[in-house]
Amino acid sequence: MDVVLIDLATDPLTKLYGAYRTCYTPKTPREVWDDIAAGIVPQDKIASFVEERLKTGHVSPLEQVVFWFGISGVSRSLSHQFVRHRIGISFEQQSQRYVRFTGKNEERLEYVMPESWEEAGKKAEFEQLMTEITRVYREAVAAGIPAEDARFVLPNAAPTNFQIMVNFAELLHIGDLRLCTRAQWEIRHMVSKMRSEIMKRVPELGRYLQPKCGEKRMGYCDEDEKAYRACPLSAVRPHKLVVIETFKRHRAESGAPMRDLTPDDFAAAEAFRETGAPKA
């Protein structure tokens, strides 16, 4: 598997600063960007301002930062999962209609084999099947069956390539799901490589790419307890139920016990107004 960060929106931190600042200042975007261009806003202020905003749920500015990746040598098993992401990401994938896999002379077409096959002593059977599929596929193409029909015999193990464009908000969401140990190993491996690529160029953003239980994301695991217990990260991250139980205990001890929301709570929330008063 190869994952390369082809390009990214120029100066992503400043783009984020401009986007967030526009929300919170009476200045126009032109004035905000004139200040940046004049060096009135130093780079460390931009970085710390963005860092503070990244801690909040204000996600939409992150859509203004975009990354392009080239990904090759991943299986069709992976690609089928990957293309389920449908918001904030754009895919171009190698076609099995226009590309005929007949160019090389090797015995078998290339394929991705999970280590578990070798560990189970089944590598030879896997390879034998790939050899047979290769024979049938190549004979089909040679017999004039169009590639779009010959491909029906190709396996999930067939490798594929992508060029994708993804915005940072969606990439964080993909990291939440696909860096989690609940995700399949191959897609986890790929997203991990995407993270490494971003770490090389923009570590200030790359470190936010974490599984959802990470301290920079949701912070706790919301998977079922059995999966949580099986996960190596459970040694360092809490489960949702533990967080709630701990909060309940703390509130009970402080004399203001937690309870389910009542109609009065909804009314109180509806009546709530920002006062602007300093917080106690």
Ligand X SMILES: Cc1cc2nc3c(=O)[nH]c(=O)nc-3n(C[C@H](O)[C@H](O)[C@H](O)COP(=O)(O)OP(=O)(O)OC[C@H]3O[C@@H](n4cnc5c(N)ncnc54)[C@H](O)[C@@H]3O)c2cc1C
- Candidates 86, 104, 226, 273: give the one binding ligand X (CB under 6 A): 86
**Dist CA 95 CA 75 (whole Å):** 13
CB of 177 to ligand X, least distance (A): 4
Q: Mention every residue, 6+ apart, whose C-beta is less than 8 A from residue 266.
A: none
From the list 66, 64, 59, the residue with the least C-alpha distance to 19 is: 64
Q: Is 178 a catalytic residue?
A: yes
CB of 103 to ligand X, least distance (A): 34
Report residue 45 as tokens: 């202020």
Closest to ligand X by CB, 54 vs 183, is: 183
Active-site residue identified among 178, 188, 195, 217? 178
DSSP assignment letter at 28:
-
Closest to ligand X by CB, 145 vs 227, is: 227
Q: Mention every residue, 6+ apart, whose C-beta is less than 8 A from residue 89.
A: 164, 165, 166, 167, 170, 174
φ and ψ of 92, to 5 deg = -125, 125
Closest to ligand X by CB, 141 vs 227, is: 227
Report residue 216 as tokens: 């920079």
CB of 170 to ligand X, least distance (A): 6
From the list 125, 120, 153, the residue with the least C-alpha distance to 138 is: 153
Do 109 and 58 touch, CB atoms closer than 8 A? no
Closest to ligand X by CB, 45 vs 58, is: 58
Report residue 272 as tokens: 């709530």
Considering only residues 111 through 150, tell me which ones interact with ligand X, judged by CB under 6 A.
none
> What mask, x for binding ligand X by CB under 6 A, covers residues 156 to 185?
--------------x--x---x----xx--
Binding-site size, ligand X (CB under 6 A):
9
3-state secondary structure of 6: strand
Closest to ligand X by CB, 56 vs 275, is: 56
CB of 184 to ligand X, least distance (A): 7
**Dist CA 28 CA 34 (whole Å):** 10
Considering only residues 188 through 247, tell me which ones interact with ligand X, judged by CB under 6 A.
none
- Candidates 10, 30, 55, 87: give the one binding ligand X (CB under 6 A): 87
Considering only residues 45 through 84, tell me which ones interact with ligand X, judged by CB under 6 A.
84
CB of 233 to ligand X, least distance (A): 14
Which residue ranges make up the site for ligand X (CB under 6 A)? 84-87, 170, 173, 177, 182-183
Which are the catalytic amino acids? 178
